[in-house]
Structure 1
Amino acid sequence: MSVDIGFTDQERQSQLRASLSEEFAVQTARLKELTEITADTGDPSQAHDRAALLAATRQSLEQITGALRRIAEGTYGRCERCETAIPVERLEILPHAKFCVPCQQKHHR
């Protein structure tokens, strides 16, 4: 069952924006910390782990930025592929979701 969140409730939209903005700040600080680490221990696994953390942090920032952009544009909560409402339960778990579950599954095939 899809529920159109439509954001008629300004408080809910404000809380979501604040939560995403806070997470953006946390991830930005994490990215800064990871990029400032210059100590090379010579251990290839540490370099690999750091590279993976950098990539994950950058991806998280892109997802958060996308969600904030969709809120500003008024398209948040709508699937970018089929334009149906994304269930509120999905958005509560994955606030940066761009696709409904069926379209997400098609996207990853």
Structure 2
Amino acid sequence: MTNFTAVRASLSEEFALQTARLKEYTEISADTGDPAEAHHQAALLSATRHSLEQITGALRRIADGTYGHCERCAGAIPGERLEVLPHARYCVPCQRKHHG
């Protein structure tokens, strides 16, 4: 059984880290005139925003009691998967179907 209190604390800590990272990336996003640097900055911002969305979703699922259940088949997501990927929304078979 997954310890939701520990998961929530870990996700909340990661949320704070990613939020600080997003703020930092946003503040240093000055245009240097280098297209490669602009592309790199955009990629960092996008990845950080995506991470925050995943974390927020997991925290919401913990709060509403659906954490650990597949959003597609409603089956249990194995604890081992949640340990590796705490924001997992799907069990492995459904994840494969979802992303081909």
Partner of 2:63: 72
Partner of 2:42: 51
User: RCO higher in 1 or 2 (8 Å CA, sep ≥ 6)?
Assistant: 1
Q: Distance in 1 between matches of 2:57 and 2:29?
A: 30
What are the Cα deviations for residues 25-65 of structure 1, in whole angstroms up to 9, with x where unaligned?
00000000111114322110000000000000000000000
Among 10, 17, 35, the alignment partner of 1:19 is 10
Q: Distance in 2 between matches of 1:93 and 1:104?
A: 15
Q: Distance in 2 between matches of 1:55 and 1:79?
A: 25
Secondary structure of the equivalent of 1:106?
helix
Secondary structure of the equivalent of 2:75?
coil
Structure 2: any 5+ residue segments left out of the alignment? none
Q: How high is the TM-score relative to the length of structure 2?
A: 0.95
Shift of 1:95: 0.1
Secondary structure of the equivalent of 2:76?
coil
C-alpha RMSD over aligned residues: 1.0
What are the Cα deviations for residues 52-87 of structure 1, in whole angstroms up to 9, with x where unaligned?
000000000000000000000010000000000001
Structure 1: any 5+ residue segments left out of the alignment? none
- 2:46 maps to amino acid: A
Count of aligned residue pairs for this structure pair = 100
